[in-house]
Chains A and B, each alone.
Chain A
Amino acid sequence: MDTSDEPFDRALLYLRAAGHDTGPETRAQLYSMLQARGAEKPALSPGQLLEHMPLWFALPEPRVGRHLPPITRASIGYPRE
C-alpha cells in the first residue's frame, strides 16, 4: 500500500486500518467524496479529512470488553505482630 501523504492514500490506509473494505466501489466513493471536499474553500488537509471518515463510511463498531463485576468492598485483617 502506498504510504505517501496524498489525501486519497492516507484515507485508504485509514479504511484498511479500520478493517473496512477497500474494493473498487469504496475507492470510487472515496474519490468522489474527496473531489467534492477538494472543491471547498479552504480545502481540507489530509488530517482533517480523516476525521470525516467515520461519517462517510460505516466503520466497524468498537467491541465493548466485559466489565469487571460490581465491587463488594471488604477489608483485610492485619494481625498484630
Chain B
Amino acid sequence: MNNAGSWRPIAFRRRFLLVLLVAAQTLAGIFLFAQTVPDQAGSGTIALLLIVFGVLFAWIGVGFWTAVFGFVVLRFGGDPWSLSSRVRPNGAPEPLSAPTAVVMPICHEPVQHTLGGLKAIIQDLEQQGQAGAVDFYVLSDSRDPDIWLEEQATCEQIRRELGPGQQLFYRRRNINLNYKSGNIADFLRRWGRRYRYMVVLDADSLLSAHCITRLIQLMEARPEAGIIQTTPRLARAETRFARLQQFANRCYGRLYSAGLAAIQLGEATYWGHNAIIRVAPFMAHCGLRKLRGPGLFRGPVLSHDFIEAALMGRAGYEVWLEPAIAGSFEESPPTLEDDLIRDRRWCRGNLQHLWLLVTMGKIRMAHRMALLTGILSYLASPLWLLFLGLSGYVALAGPTPEPALPGVMAANEAGSGAGSLLVAVTALLLFGPRLLAVADHGLARRTLAFGGLFRLYGNTLIETLAALALAPIRMLIHTLHVVRALLNLKVGWQGQNRAGGLSPDLSLHNFGLLLFSAAAGLALIHWQAPTLTPWALPVLAPVFLAPALACWLGRKPGTDTWLQVPEDGQITRVIELADSTSPLHHDPGRLSWFEQMVLSPVFARASQSGAQPATGKKARALERLVDRCATEGKQALTHRELTLICNHPEALEALHWRAWHATPESPWRAVLGCMAQSVESASPAAVSLPRRREELAWVEVAS
C-alpha cells in the first residue's frame, strides 16, 4: 500500500480546520446572541445562557461542517486517503484464504427474520465461491426456551438447506454475562484462536459477499488496521417511521459518513456491527472490565463499541470507517417507540463513557472526542430544554410588556437585526446538510434513483417536516432518559422490536409520562407567564400529538415506494435472498417449541444416547422440576427451569413419557389434543420417503 502511515498529518490538518470553523462560527453566534439578550436580566443568568447557547451552537456546527467536509470529499471523487482508495481491487477477487468468523450475537430477536438474513449472507458468499474460509456462528443469549429452541431448529434447517459445504454453528450461553460484548468475549475465549478476522453482525445486519470479501482484502493489505467499519445503509423498511429513517439515511447519511471518515481517517470508531475486526489484537487489548464507580458508573460497560475502538487505538492499531464499501445494510426500528427505547439503552451506555473518559489513560484525542460526541448526543437534549427555559426567563426581564425571546426577536433595533441574522445562520446550520445532500445527488445525477428531481425535493421536505415535528418529542424523551440514567434507574437490555405494528392504546401508554410532563410544563408557563405561552406552543404541540403521530408512523404506507430510495428500484442480491427466505413452518397458536420438544418421539430417542445423567442433589432437583411440569404444565416453571430440563436429556425423556401418559386432568392432555390437530392438518409422509420441510416442523425441533 502507498503512503502507509502518512495519513496522520492529513488528519491533523483536517481536524484543525474543523475546530477552526466550528470555533469561529460559535464565537460569531455568541456575539450575535449577546446582542439580543435584554440587559435587565441578571448577569449570572445571562452568562449561563450564553454558555449553554455556545455549547449547543457548536454542537450543531460540528454536524454542519462534517457534512460540508463530506460534500467536498464526494465532489472530488472520494477521499484519496481512505483505505478503499489506496487498496484498489484487482480484477476478479481471489478466493478468500484468511480464516474468518462471521458472528451474529442475538438475544430474543424475531428468529425467522434474523436467521433468514444470515442465511442470505451465507448464500451470497457461496454463490460467489467465497464461503470456503468463512465460518458462521449464531451466538445466542436468549433465555426463553420457546425462542432458543426455535433458533436451534432454524439453524439446523438452514444447515440442511445449504448442504454439507457450509459451516454454520449455533452456540447458546447459559450464563449471560456482560450482554453483547460478553457474548463475543465468550466466543473469542473458545474459538478466537482459530480465526484471523471476525466480522460482527447485528441481528438485522445484511452484508453482501462483495462487502465481506472487500473487508478481508483491506485487512490483508493493511496489517496496521485493527477494525474496519462499514457504513450500513438502512434497508427493508416497511413502516412510515422506518421509511423516514431510511430516506434520511440514504439521502443525507452519505455526506455525514464521508465527512466523518475524512476527519477521523485511521482513528475512527467502531459501531458494534457490520465491521471486521483483527482478532488477535482485539483479544489482547480490548477486554472490558466492569466499571467500579458509583451508581450508573458501576457494572458492565453497556455501550462497548466506542470503547473497544479506543482500546484498539491505544494499542497502536488503526480503526477505519470506510463508507465507500457498498453492500452493508441494517434495519431501522419500525416505530418511534422502538427507536426511543433503543435510545434509552444507548443513552445509558453513552453516559457511562463519562467515567471511562476520566479513568482511562492514553486514549487518543480523536477517540476521546468520539466518546464526548456520543455523550453529548444525549446530553444535548437537557441542554436544549435548559436553553429554552433560560431564554424564556431572560425574555421576561425585557423592557417591553410583550416578551420577545432572545435570538428570535429583540426589543431594540440593533438587537433585532442581530437576532434575524442569528436565526438565518441557525437555519443554515440545521438545514444546510439537507440542501448539500440534495445538491450532491443532483450533481451526481442520482435523482432518478430517488424517483426524480421533484420527488426528491418533495420527499426531503416531508422528511424535514417530520424531523421538525419529532424534535421536541425526542428532546423531552431524551431528557427523561438522561435523568433516569443519572439516577441509575435500571432499564432492560433485551433485543429490540424489529417487526413493527402498534396499537393506539400502546402509544398512549408509552407516551403517558411525556404528555403529563408537557401538560404540567404548559400549565406552569401559562400560570406564571401567560405571554410566553405562544412561544411554548410550537415546542409542545407536537408533544401532545405524539401518541397519534407515533401510531400513524408505525403503520405501513399505502405504497411501497413512499419516500423512495435507490434500493426500491435496484434490489441488491443479498436483500433479495433475505426477502425470499421462507420461514420455518410453525403454528404458534398450537404447540410451543418447548411442548414440541417434550412430545417429540424423535428427540426422546435421541436422548437415550445422550450425556452422563445428573446425579445427587441435581438429579433430585430435576426430578422435582419434571414432576411440577408434568402435573402443572410448562407455565408453572420459569424460563431457567424449563431450560434446565431441556439441557438434561434424561429429564426431558422422563417428561416426554409423563406427557404422553397424560390423563384427562393433566395439562398435557390438552397439549396432546392440540398436537393431534396439528398432525391432522399436515399429512405425514412415509418414513422411507424424503419428507417435505413443512412436515418436519414440530418433530424436528430437537434434532
Identify the A interface with B (CB < 8 A): 1-3, 5, 10, 13-14, 16-23, 45-47, 50-51, 53-54, 58-66, 68-69, 71-81
Contact = CB atoms under 8 A, between A and B. Distances in A.
B283 A81 contact: no
A53 B602 CA distance: 12
A16 B684 contact: yes
Nearest to B691: A19
Given A5-B664, A74-B188, A65 B156 contact: yes
B700 A63 contact: yes
B17 interface: no
B631 to A, nearest CB: 14
A79 B287 CA distance: 7
Contact of B684 (A22, A71, A72, A77): A22
Given A18-B699, A74-B189, A47 B660 contact: yes
A26 to B, nearest CB: 10
A19 B287 contact: no
Interface of B: 135, 152, 156, 159, 168-171, 185, 188-194, 283-289, 311, 314, 356, 359-361, 599-603, 605-606, 657, 660-661, 663-664, 672-673, 675-677, 679-680, 684-687, 691, 695-696, 698-700, 702-703
Contacts of A47: 657, 660-661
Given A3-B673, A50-B660, A72-B191, A17 B600 contact: yes
23 contacts: A1-B676, A3-B673, A14-B601, A16-B679, A17-B600, A21-B687, A45-B661, A47-B661, A50-B657, A54-B605, A62-B702, A64-B606, A64-B703, A69-B135, A71-B190, A74-B189, A74-B192, A74-B283, A77-B285, A79-B286, A79-B289, A81-B356, A81-B359
Given A21-B687, A22-B684, A65-B152, 8 more contacts: A3-B676, A10-B660, A17-B698, A19-B687, A54-B601, A58-B687, A63-B703, A76-B287
B597 to A, nearest CB: 12
A46 B661 contact: yes
B660 A19 contact: no
Contact of A13 (B193, B600, B676, B696): B676
A20 B657 contact: no
Given A1-B679, A54-B605, A60-B602, A65 B703 contact: yes
A13 B641 CA distance: 28
A19 B695 contact: yes
B602 A74 contact: no
Across the A-B interface, give the 10 residue pairs with the lowest CB-CB distance, nearest first: A47-B661, A62-B606, A76-B287, A78-B287, A18-B601, A63-B703, A72-B193, A77-B284, A3-B676, A1-B676
A14 B601 CA distance: 7
A36 to B, nearest CB: 21
Main secondary structure of the interface of A (DSSP, over half): loop
B287 A60 contact: no
A14 to B, nearest CB: 6
B675 A69 contact: no
B403 to A, nearest CB: 49
A18 B602 contact: yes
Contacts of A45: 661
B194 A69 contact: yes
A73 B190 contact: yes
A51 B170 CA distance: 31
A18 B170 CA distance: 25
B679 A13 contact: yes
Contacts of B189: 73-76
A13 B12 CA distance: 74
Given A68-B171, A81-B289, A17 B601 contact: yes
Contacts of B677: 1
Contacts of B672: 3, 10, 13
Contacts of B169: 66, 68-69
Contacts of B285: 77, 79
B545 to A, nearest CB: 46
B698 to A, nearest CB: 8
Contacts of B191: 68-69, 71-72
Contacts of A14: 601, 660
A20 B192 contact: no
